[in-house]
Amino acid sequence: MTHREHDEELHAEREHIAGLYARLDTERDRAKARYAAALRGTGESPMERDVEVRAAGAEVRRLDVADDGLCFGRLDSAGGERSYIGRIGILDADDEYASLLLDWRAPASRPFYTATGAHPEGMRRRRQFHTRGRRVDDFTDEVLGRPTGDDGGDAALLAAVNAPRGEGMRDIVATIQAEQDEIIRLDHPGVAVIEGGPGTGKTVVALHRVAYLLYTRRERLERQGVLVVGPNATFLHHIDRVLPSLGESDVVFTTTGGLVPGLRVTAEDTPEAARLKGSPAILDVLAAAIADRQRLPEEPLPIALADVTVRIDAATAQWARDEARASGLPHNEARAVFTDVVTYVLSERAASRIGRGWVTRSDRDAWEQLRADVLTELAESAACTAALDALWPVLTPESLLGPLYASPARLRAAGADPVLGRADGAAWTVSDVPLLDELVDLLGPDPAAVAAERAAAARDEHAGAAYAAGVMDILTLDREELDEDLGVRVADLIHAEGLGDRFVERDTRDLAERAAADRDWTYGHVVVDEAQELSAMDWRVLMRRCPSRSFTVVGDLTQRRSSAGATSWGGMLDRYVPGRWVYRSLTVNYRTPAEIMAVAAALLAEFAPDVRPPDSVRAAGAGPWSRRVTDDELAGAVEDFVRDEAGREGTSVVIGPAGSVPGAVTPAGTKGLEFDAVLVVDPDRILADGPRGAADLYVALTRATQRLDVLHRGPLPRALRGLTDVGTPAGTR
């Protein structure tokens, strides 16, 4: 194609894509009008109006995010047909069955990602547009069906991986590779495990898989939503724009520490405590801790009534406890059984003593009335309530677990390892979250609190109805005059029930907001990133959140740092989804240049010799370097790096062990992230941090997309001796 022909083609493509944007604007204006109408309340009921508001709002958001890079490609078939590929699908206004723009997830779009020179899949040309917002700057053509030619097919990919990084992860919708596309479109109803080394794009592939599933299983997933679980808040912020950029917003992002709404994680466990809490054996400890709070009195507990004093003795409490436990109900609900047995015994004893000489059991009516009076008195007795609270208290997850950790005696009674003990039992850790979540089901709700909530809801409903009835009464006074003025009967326009509906508080939160606030919400699909770090107890929480067991699991076993994490995928998943999980791997490193990956691979060979590192698609042209510094020189060398990188485009980070230098991020804090330039400080100290040290250093070395520098005060670890040793400060490079 000559330069002139290229310019003419580019002009034509700009005109065509401008037409697509015009169609997008028209659809968006209509969606906004529907949203405004929904907010005004066009539905028959509050629930229907809320559904309309959410649906219309979601459509506006979907069309908004498509504004940037709406169309990014074109496919030309061998038969001469052209198909444009984009973030969303757009239909012809005059023919709803004709597509102006194919959604990238549609089956017809797949050859855009999978066709090759050797296997063109009926396609003649693949064109990729280079866009900036709505503007088309240029395009690159790849001619298919000529496997020996230099068709420039990697140009778009290399441009993307070499581009400076921004604040968040970018979608790869325009440059999905064939091995990635196969996983994204994987049709498996259970758990799909995606494993890959650093830089293989496993996270972004998982997110595009979510977008694909939301496209193909829209009806089910849009009602339930998707949960994405990541290792830390920084990582979630890094990825949280990918799905919205693909038009999907019904997604909740959280860490394992955020799986219980309203709970704050403020402490950190020792590795041994985390291992114990993450093991299924902790379930026996929780059950024993609950049983320990279901007590028998050491001495009979007196309950003074008006005419007699009765006592709760050990035998009575034992019978009541046996019956309550045999009911199979959660602890708080079983309290009703315990109470019924205790109060039955006490009422029988009290009635026998009070009625001695004037009423017997043979006089059924009198006897039952006497017992009823005693039961009423017991229900109103503060001493009886206090005794029941002592023997079978109403418990919350927090009021059980906090005192357990703080009491060596309670830990012993529950058969727990003393390492779980800590002075501040209510300072929760990430490993406590699955235990607290488990206790929600083991304990059950507080019946009194449930009754209070229902009473409050009934009062609000009654108040709304009363207000509406009052308004109708006022209208009725002048009804004939209003009928005449309006030309219709007021009674035909409005009624008390309909008016009352308008005063019902409407829940206009979108699905993600409602799901995030509801511990009992169940999701249609769950994505778990850095899944090798999750314990068996973490998985129990997630399985409860997704009864359909539809998961995309992302991880790398060689990067595991948690002592409670997975050592094999089968060992973790087979207990929950036996026979319902598939494994796929990614082998190409799109992030890390070959020079940097060679250094990381040398470390990998030492601690995981059976694992093959991913192959890098590019070289940076400059190798990573190391420099030994003294304690006095370290701060200045770090400042040189920061100053040097501030003058460059892109992102940078200093990674080191906790407390190494001000502003340094720990390796764990960078998991899943990437930066143009990375400075690793004190690699020997990172490596010395127990069994997880090697994995942490491997993570630190593989965050860079362009440049890796290493400063060390101690001896350089043997695996890093492939680094170029320099004797000049970083700022003079």
Q: Residue 429 and residue 426: Cα distance in Å, rounded?
A: 9
| CA proximity to 317, closest of 337, 289, 290 | 337
> Would you say residue 595 has pLDDT above 70?
yes
Q: Stretch 441-448: mean pLDDT, rounded?
A: 91
DSSP one-letter code for 78: T
Secondary structure class of 345 (helix, strand, coil): helix
Q: What is the pLDDT of residue 361?
A: 77
Residue with tokens 């107890």, as numbered in its chain: 537
Percent of the chain having pLDDT more than 70?
Answer: 87
Q: Stretch 579-602: mean pLDDT, rounded?
A: 93
Q: Average pLDDT of the chain?
A: 87
Higher pLDDT, 86 or 358: 86
Higher pLDDT, 144 or 213: 213
Q: Please say whether the beta carbons of 573 and 528 come within 8 A.
A: no
Q: What is the pLDDT of residue 543?
A: 96
> Would you say residue 700 has pLDDT above 60?
yes
**Confidence bin at 248 (pLDDT 50/70/90):** confident
**How many CB atoms sit inside 10 A of residue 429's CB?**
19
Q: Give the containing element (helix H, strand E) for 589.
A: strand 588-589
| CA proximity to 354, closest of 369, 339, 365 | 369
| CA proximity to 504, closest of 454, 455, 462, 470 | 462
HSE, CB side, 13 Å, CA atoms: give it for residue 659.
1
Q: What is the pLDDT of residue 389?
A: 97
Q: Stretch 481-506: mean pLDDT, rounded?
A: 52
Residues 387-436 have pLDDT tens digits of: 999 999 999 999 999 999 999 999 999 999 999 999 888 899 999 999 99
Which of 55-59, 219-223, 296-300, 556-560 has the highest mean predicted lDDT (pLDDT)?
Answer: 296-300
Residues 111-126 have pLDDT tens digits of: 998 887 778 899 999 9
> Would you say residue 379 has pLDDT above 80?
yes
Q: Stretch 254-266: mean pLDDT, rounded?
A: 93
E-only strand ranges, 70-122: 71-77, 82-86, 90-91, 99-103
List, in sequence order, the alpha helices (H) in 328-446.
331-354, 364-379, 382-391, 397-406, 408-413, 433-443
Q: Stretch 657-665: mean pLDDT, rounded?
A: 90
Q: Please say whether the beta carbons of 626 and 678 come within 8 A.
A: no
**Burial (CB count within 10 angstroms: exposed 0-12, middle 13-18, buried 19+), residue 111:** buried
pTM of the predicted protein model:
0.82
Residues 125-168 have pLDDT tens digits of: 999 998 888 999 999 888 887 544 444 446 566 666 666 666 66
Q: What is the pLDDT of residue 485?
A: 54
Q: Stretch 176-201: mean pLDDT, rounded?
A: 92
Q: What is the pLDDT of residue 66?
A: 83
> Would you say residue 504 has pLDDT above 60?
no
Q: What is the pLDDT of residue 254?
A: 95
Q: Residue 338 and residue 384: Cα distance in Å, rounded?
A: 13
**Confidence bin at 664 (pLDDT 50/70/90):** very high
Q: What is the pLDDT of residue 446?
A: 87
Mean pLDDT lowest among 67-76, 109-118, 489-498, 583-592: 489-498
Integer Rg of the chain from CA: 33
Q: How many helices (H) and strands (E) does the chain have?
A: 29, 21
